[in-house]
Structure 1
């Protein structure tokens, strides 16, 4: 080979090595922590499974998820307000069929145990705006909040806004690749509420996981594709469950159901993590 050919080959090899090195340095998602964001008992789970389980009570859990991506921390859902931890009898619902919530551990204490301050969290998302998912949003006033526009625009009680107007927000219409590298994608899954969303997370060892939000509340409802009577839209709910099922098949992913106690009890909780 002529010297010029050798030189060009060396340059090509160097460029390939540089590209491979840059690819290797892309952080992706490194860790996912499951946080205890509430525990409670539902008075009558037929509220979530119409015509089935009439009068049957069930223990529920409420999970939040802290995700590390390079130097970034991302929080998914914020659970029952930390103030409930000081309520001996918990937070009772207006509807006796619904969940009486307790807060055994505060979100702030669990973050501290991991070594994370609220100010370290620069971005967050909520599956939807029911109180058991947004109870601590304002603990992170500086964090950019990812939420579907349909959810953000959905009137709250007495037509009040669902978040403080000063909170930085990125309004979504559909799916969102949060970090631009495919490692974490917000999935638009409306139905439970007008702008409900779920989260696909790809971990290096654990593999892909879909965090359901309230697209489904417990495994029996998922297995039977049941739609709770209080959902905003039954057809959208069914379509969103199918979208999740398709995602699970495509990504060979696990489904982590937010409120399912049996599943949560089998998982590692913070300060342990999935990588």
Structure 2
């Protein structure tokens, strides 16, 4: 074999090796999932979440947001209580004493670890203010929302989002990155266009982020539907859809407002991979 042929073979082998190494370094899919503290609160009377039970009983709630690092970019799920609440000494006190008094120990902006402009896509489980309070911190991020939620009139028939915010209105499930690693699940019932999120992590495995399809573990175990939900039958069907997905994907259910579960989780800047 001549030196020229040997050199050609070596160059080809090196090119193949470099391509393989590059492919290995550019791993597709989700790389990390960060849990962010997006509010802490106390419900004055949890019977509204457990109809017929717990009359007059209070409960501590938490509120989480989740930042996903995907090979294609950053994706934010839920935005929590408005950051402005952090400056309120007594928290955000509701007009109804049975509802939740929310506090904001840390702002979302302080926990991100990336610039808001780096977040190219986002979604909220629904438009209640403890989940959508900071949407406009990310005015350039494409917002994924169910059309039923987007069209649902807000207070005084006001729109629930700024019309200028870039949005993709959905009519069902959505594979966000096209590789099955981050999937929005349509789970209506709590609100007309409520949605949950399935995230597949390389080491942790699959996780479903509940939004408010369920508020705490006891409600999930007993399939209880809160009295404030807009549709009881849809709520029950959505919980069944989540249960079926948990079984099929061998996934964990992370319940947004469940304090006992959140207290056991790693919080940003720690992460799940």
Give per-residue Cα distances to partners, 1:192-212, cap 9 Å, x unaligned. Answer: 000000000000000000000
Name the CA shift for 1:52/1:118 in 2 (closer, same or farther; >3 Å): same
The corresponding residue for 1:11 is none
The corresponding residue for 1:132 is 130
Deviation at 1:93, TM superposition (A): 1.1
What SS class does the counterpart of residue 235 from structure 1 fall into? helix
Q: State the alpha-carbon separation in 2 of the partners of residues 208 and 20 from structure 1.
A: 27
The corresponding residue for 2:93 is 92
Of the candidates 261, 264, 271, which is equivalent to residue 262 of structure 2?
264
Alignment of 1:7-156 (within 5 A): 25-111=26-112, 114=113, 116-156=114-154
The corresponding residue for 1:7 is none
Say whether 1:233 aligns with 2:234: no
Give per-residue Cα distances to partners, 1:166-222, cap 9 Å, x unaligned. Answer: 000000000000000000100000000000000000000000000000000000000
Deviation at 1:53, TM superposition (A): 1.0
Give per-residue Cα distances to partners, 1:43-78, cap 9 Å, x unaligned. Answer: 010110100111110000000000000150000000
Maintained 8 Å contact 2:72/2:177: no
The corresponding residue for 2:179 is 181
The corresponding residue for 2:170 is 172
Give per-residue Cα distances to partners, 1:208-264, cap 9 Å, x unaligned. Answer: 000000000000000000000000000000000000000000000000000000000
Aligned residues: 259
Give per-residue Cα distances to partners, 1:97-142, cap 9 Å, x unaligned. Answer: 110000000001111xx2x011110100000000100000000000
Q: How large is the RMSD of aligned CA atoms in angstroms?
A: 1.9
Of the candidates 229, 236, 242, which is equivalent to residue 244 of structure 1?
242
Structure 1: 4+ residue segments shifted above 3 A: 18-26
The corresponding residue for 1:8 is none
What SS class does the counterpart of residue 243 from structure 1 fall into? helix
Q: State the alpha-carbon separation in 2 of the partners of residues 24 and 89 from structure 1.
A: 48
Q: State the alpha-carbon separation in 2 of the partners of residues 241 and 24 from structure 1.
A: 38
What SS class does the counterpart of residue 130 from structure 2 fall into? helix
Q: State the alpha-carbon separation in 2 of the partners of residues 146 and 271 from structure 1.
A: 25
Deviation at 1:96, TM superposition (A): 1.0
What SS class does the counterpart of residue 67 from structure 2 fall into? strand
Structure 1: runs of 5 or more not aligned: 1-13
Q: State the alpha-carbon separation in 2 of the partners of residues 186 and 22 from structure 1.
A: 27
Structure 2: runs of 5 or more not aligned: 1-14
Q: State the alpha-carbon separation in 2 of the partners of residues 156 and 20 from structure 1.
A: 51
Say whether 1:191 aligns with 2:189: yes
Maintained 8 Å contact 2:26/2:71: no
TM-score (norm 2): 0.91
What SS class does the counterpart of residue 199 from structure 2 fall into? strand
TM-score (norm 1): 0.91
Q: State the alpha-carbon separation in 2 of the partners of residues 25 and 43 from structure 1.
A: 49
Q: State the alpha-carbon separation in 2 of the partners of residues 26 and 180 from structure 1.
A: 15
Deviation at 1:21, TM superposition (A): 7.8
